[in-house]
Structure formats: structure tokens, C-alpha cells
Amino acid sequence: MEALDAYEVLSSAKPEELKHPCESLDYANHVVKTTMMGYPQLAADSLLNPDLIGRLADIVGSIVRQLNLIFMEAKWVGRKREDVIVQRGRAYDVLLEIAINLFGLEREWVGFTERDVEDSLKIIRNTLSAWESTEREERGSAEIAKAVVRLKIEDMKKVMRGDPKGVKSMVAVMGENVEKKLDERNIMLSFLDALKEEIQGNIYYVMSKKGMCRFGNDYALGLRWLRRLGYVQVSTNPVLAAIAY
């Protein structure tokens, strides 16, 4: 299946309805189930929890072991290509989201140690690289990996895309910068490396980290990216803004 097909399948895939209460067995199982239901961002955010300080890498390792069985299932069991694309795409997506969360300031707000972050990122990087290699061995190219990264960058470019004056948002420019640094031979890790540089080299990230200022955003679109720079959601309503701040 060509790259365009993988992109179209992932961009049109619909999430399942979330169950309440959830039926997860533990943190790792919750992340995997939520991801496969179509909510990788929500799944990744569930790990931003102070209860996981000192345990994060172990849980990420458990998540990877479960996701790896799902990712490799296509090699052992005959599955519809569309199902393989969706499952693998969501597996890629949640690991990217966990890594990006650990690049941003949330890791400090939660209180994760450097060991938590470094060990977790090492597991994620090794896994993403192995999955991409598996794709290339199977089909000659990593089309699902490319489609997932393309969707991520497109999400960044959405912010202020319709501005009548043609002004680009900071998040959109960050997305363009990341896109320029992608290595087609190593799409996943080049994406992570470029995005880490964009986030941690951003002036707002630096100012937030140093405690020089607090930044607020009253525009919902793009907040997921801005919060990694230290932004919080606020409202143009002064009372609500004060509460949010």
C-alpha cells in the first residue's frame, strides 16, 4: 500500500466510544487500551501523574511490550491491511506523544526525575526505530511511520492557518522547521530530535523554565503544543482567566 493510502486510512479512522468506568487492569494496560480505541493523546497524558515518579520507565517498558505484540501481529496473523495501518499508526502515535510530553515542561510540573525521563525516552526511541525498520523490511518503506509524522506536522500547521493577513502562528513555524529536518531514512527519530530542539530551544520554553513569566492562551487550537512551552489555558473572561492562572 502506498504512502497516500496509509495517510488516508489514518486520517479517516474513527475512534471507538470510550467506556465508563474504564476496564483497565493497570497503568500500562490503560494506555494500550485507550490508544487502540483511538485516543493516543489521552493515553499519553494519563502518564503525567505524580504517582508514577520513579516508576515511569517500568510502565513505559510494559506499554512497549504490549504494543510490540500488536505491532508485530501482522507478521504472524493475516489481518486486513487497513487494520494493520490503524493499529500500527496508533502505536507509533502514542509513543511519540509520550516522548513529546517528556520534552515539554509537563515533566517538571509532574516532578519526574531525569532518570525517569532519560530511561523512558531510551525505551521509546529504541522501539520506534525497531518498528520503522520492521516496516521497511516488510514493504520496502516505512509508509505508516511517514503518515503518522505527516499528520503530526499538519496538526501544528492548523494553528492560524486561515489568518486573512497570511500571518503564521509560532506553532505552525515550528512544524515547518521540523519538516525541513526530517530524514526519510530515519523518519521517527529525526522527527523526535527536531521537535525536541524546537520545543526546548523556544524562547517561551526557556522563560517558563526559568520562572521569568507565565504565559496564557485563550485559543484552544494548538494548546496541546503550547502547553509544552509552559502555556496554560486561560479565558478572555477575567474571572475565568484568573481561576485558570
Q: Is the pLDDT of residue 244 over 70?
A: no
Q: What is the domain range of residue 32?
A: 3-152
Is pLDDT of 4 > 60? no
- 120 and 239 housed in the same domain: no
Q: Residue-wise over 19-42: b if at least 16 C-beta within 10 A, else e?
A: eeeeeeeebbebbbbbbbbbbbbb
Q: Is residue 77 included in any domain, yes or no?
A: yes
Mean pLDDT of the 176-181 span: 96
The reply to whether 142 and 26 lie within a common domain is yes
pLDDT over 60 (residue 102): yes
- pLDDT range class, residue 228, cuts 50, 70, 90: low
**Whether residue 2 has pLDDT greater than 50:** no
**232 vs 198, more confident:** 198
One-letter amino acid identity for 151?
L
| Residue 180 located in a structural domain | no
pLDDT at 219: 55
For the residues of 125-187, what is the DSSP string, one character each?
A: HHHHHHHHHHHHHHHSS-HHHHHHHHHHHHHHHTTTTT-TT-PPPHHHHHHHHHHHT--TTSH
82 and 11 in a common domain: yes
| Minimum mean pLDDT range among 4-8, 111-115, 228-232 | 228-232
| pTM, two decimal places | 0.87
The model's confidence at residue 234, banded by pLDDT at 50, 70 and 90, is low
What mean pLDDT do residues 32-45 have?
93
Domain match, 97 and 15 both? yes
Based on the structure, what is the number of domains in the chain?
Answer: 2
Residue 183 domain flag: no
Q: What is the per-residue pLDDT across 200-210, written as a single tens digit (0 to 9) for each?
A: 998 888 888 88
Residue 64: which residues within 8 A CB-CB, separation 6 or more? 95, 123, 124, 127
* Cα–Cα distance measured from residue 243 to residue 237, given in angstroms and rounded to the nearest whole number: 10
Domain match, 8 and 109 both: yes
Let me know if residue 233 belongs to a domain. Answer: yes
**Residue 1: what pLDDT?**
38
Same domain, 125 and 21: yes
Residue 201 lies in a domain: no
Q: Is residue 144 part of a domain?
A: yes
Query: Of 137, 152, 167, which marks where a domain is finished?
Result: 152
pLDDT recorded at residue 176 = 95
138 & 19 share domain: yes
Residue 17 belongs to a domain: yes
Indicate whether 182 pLDDT > 70: yes
Instruction: Return the pLDDT at 242.
Output: 59
Give tens-digit pLDDT for 112-160. 999 999 999 999 999 999 999 999 999 899 999 999 999 999 988 887 7
Q: Are residues 131 and 241 in the same domain?
A: no
Q: What are the pLDDT digits (tens) for 66-77?
A: 999 999 987 777
- Within-domain flag for 157: no
| Mean pLDDT, residues 193-197 | 97
Decide if pLDDT at 177 tops 90.
Answer: yes
pLDDT, residue 211, reads 79
**Segment 7-12 mean pLDDT:** 94
Task: Single out the residue in 119, 137, 152 at which a domain terminates.
Answer: 152
The residue out of 131, 152, 173 marking a domain boundary is 152
Q: For residues 40 and 142, state if they share a domain.
A: yes
Same domain for 116 and 44: yes
Query: In DSSP terms, which residues pair with 227 in a beta bridge?
Result: none
